[in-house]
Structures are given as C-alpha cells and as structure tokens.
Amino acid sequence: MNGMRKAFVLLLLCGVLAALLAGCGGGGQKSAKRELKVYNWGDYIDPEILKSFEKETGIHVIYDTFATNEDMYVKVKSGGSDYDVAIPSDYMISRLLRDGLLEKIDFSKVPNYSKIGAKYKNLDFDPKNEYSVPYMWGTVGIAYNKKMVTEPVDSWGILWDAKYAKQIFMLDSPRDSIGITLKYLGYSLNTGNEVELAVAGKKLVEQKPLVLAYLVDEAKDKMIAGEGALAVVWSGDAMFMMEKNKDIAYAIPKEGTNLWFDSMVILKGTKHKAEAEEFINYMTRPDVAKKNVEYIGYASPIPEVESKLPEDVRKNIAAYPDAELLKNAEVFNDLTENMPKYDKVWTEVKVAQ
C-alpha cells in the first residue's frame, strides 16, 4: 500500500513536471517574437512613438541612448553590442561606412523615403544614399538668457567675454567645442592643420576659467532654470529651452557654424534587418515624424512635416534657419587620420587646471 502510494506521488510529480516543461516550451516559442535594438542620442525621440510602433508592428524595441557620436562609435566598434539601428551624425556615418560597419538599406522596404526633401538626400557622407535615411537636421549655436545678456549675440566671441564669467555652459563634446572655436578663429572646422588646432586648444584653455560647466544633456535643465547666461547648444535643444523659458533666445554667430544631419543607419551584422527597415520607414512616416519633431524640437527633413508646423516654429531660426544664416556653415567631415589631433587638444583642454 505504502509502496503504491509512493509510486502514485512519483507519477503525479512527473505529470506536474511534464506540464511545467510543456508550459515552458510554449513560453519559449512566444519569446521568439520580433525584436529590435535601437541606439539613439539621449532625449531624442518621443517615447510615445516607441510605444505606438510596438503596438502597430508587434516588434519589441530595446532602446539605448548615447551622449556623443564618439561614445556611440567606441561602443559599436568594440563589438559586443548588438544594435540594429543607430542614429549618428554625418561625419560619424562616413567613419562607420569607412570601417565597414554599416549595412545597405533595401529602400523598397522604406517607401516613405520618398517623403524626404531632395536637399537632404545624397549628402556627402552617403553620396549615393544607400546606407542612411535622414532623421533630423540642425545647427550649433548659442542659447542665451535675454535677462542676463542684453547686448546682441552675433559672434562666438561672446563666449570669451569675462563679463559672463562662470555663466557659460560649453558642450562636453570635442568636435563641437573645438569646431566652434575654429570657426571663431576663422578656420575650417574640419581642419587638420596642427598650428590651427593648437591655437584653438589654447583659446579653449584660456576660456576655461569663464566656463561654469561642460555639459551635454543637462545644459537644457540648467538654462531653463536660469543657472547660466550663455550655452553652446544644438538647435533643437534651444527650441526645447525656448518653449520652457520665454527669456531664452538662440543665435547663429556670423562666423558660421556647424550644419549637421543625423540619419538612421542599419549596423552591420544585424539579425533584424527587416524589423530595422520597418522601424526606419515608420519613423519617416509624416504623421509620426511630425509628432516626433513636435516633441523633441529639432528640424525635420520632410517638407510635408515642416509645412504643417505652426508658423512661429517655421519662422524660428533655431528650427528652420534661412539660407543667409547658413552662409558660412560647414558640415563636419570624417577626420580620419586627423582625429587623434582633436583628441589630444580636447584631452589637454579638459585636464588643464
């Protein structure tokens, strides 16, 4: 009797175990659902859009952010990360392309590409437009608080004015901060000339006592809270600040600035190419793109989106600067062998006491 009971319990246990395993098996099949890993700048998408994309397509998005192009590059280049889609800037796209880290996009799967304005296609970093779809574009400029800065802001030189000591935020991003200094000095922001770079480095070290902090995303909150008078910012961040604090204005200095394009690319070795193309197509759909630019404040490369925005946004130079202001603007080139020179200058600026 006892023996039989034991046998029965054992049988029951086996049954339960089998049921559990079967349950696991079923779960396993479910977890094979479609996934996509996206690597984007911090604060650079309307989170609602990720949710609606997941809902519409059933693709689960794993979303990570980076603070600068260089951070992104180091992580992608060193391997180990398995991102499918990234949204780097122009010069970084050339660099990724040169290193063979990009996958060709099948544009038949991205029909919304036709919505992109002609002037944002076939740009230098992707001349035949095979690898990238524009996401946003913009400029680098000076956001300033009109209550603290009453004089007109039209030159980068104001960032070296001792009057604003400890009220200046610089971008903690080597290419941007060195780039605007080069422009201020009248050089190209793609220079490889060591003398010019050394002068720019010296200028930045000279500026250091006036700088309150070198920030990237935090600068927005600080400027909105009135913690500083001047900040070097990307145009879309300026839009965001102006919306939250009416005292903030944006200027593109006369010496010229950096005109940039951030584009969506598919990274080499992706196991989710179809999902990646679906994502890129979704982000380029006019209604989605409009919702996105309204949230993040940058400029859309889709004319249909631009025309539907309210007039004060279309007229705002932080969003859609006119050609006159971009006269002296330059797009970053990939620096290739000159990159270590910039690294050296930036390291010296940052360690200077």
Amino acid at 80: G
Q: How far is the CB of 62 from another protein (least distance, A)?
A: 20
Cα 102-296-68 angle, rounded to 5 deg: 45
| Residue whose CB is less far from another protein, 279 or 346 | 346
Q: What is the DSSP string of 246-276?
A: TTEEEE--TT--BEEEEEEEEETT-S-HHHH
Distance of CA 338 to CAs 134, 175, 193, 248, 345, Å? 26, 12, 9, 36, 11
Q: How far is the CB of 71 from another protein (least distance, A)?
A: 6
The answer to whether 267 and 76 have CB atoms below 8 angstroms apart is yes
| Residue whose CB is less far from another protein, 168 or 265 | 168
Q: How far is the CB of 245 from another protein (least distance, A)?
A: 12
Distance CA 64, CA 142 (A): 28
| Residue whose CB is less far from another protein, 110 or 178 | 178
Return residues touching another protein (CB under 8 A). 68, 70-71, 73-75, 77-78, 166, 172, 174, 208, 211-215, 218, 222, 225-227, 343, 346-348, 350-353
Q: How far is the CB of 341 from another protein (least distance, A)?
A: 12
| Residue whose CB is less far from another protein, 20 or 74 | 74
Cα 131-135-139 angle, rounded to 5 deg: 115
| Residue whose CB is less far from another protein, 97 or 274 | 97
Q: How far is the CB of 351 from another protein (least distance, A)?
A: 5
Q: What is the DSSP string of 94-156?
A: HHHHHTT-EE---GGG-GGGGGS-GGGSS-TTSTT--SEEEEEEEEEEEEEETTT--S---SG
| Residue whose CB is less far from another protein, 86 or 212 | 212
Q: How far is the CB of 327 from another protein (least distance, A)?
A: 32
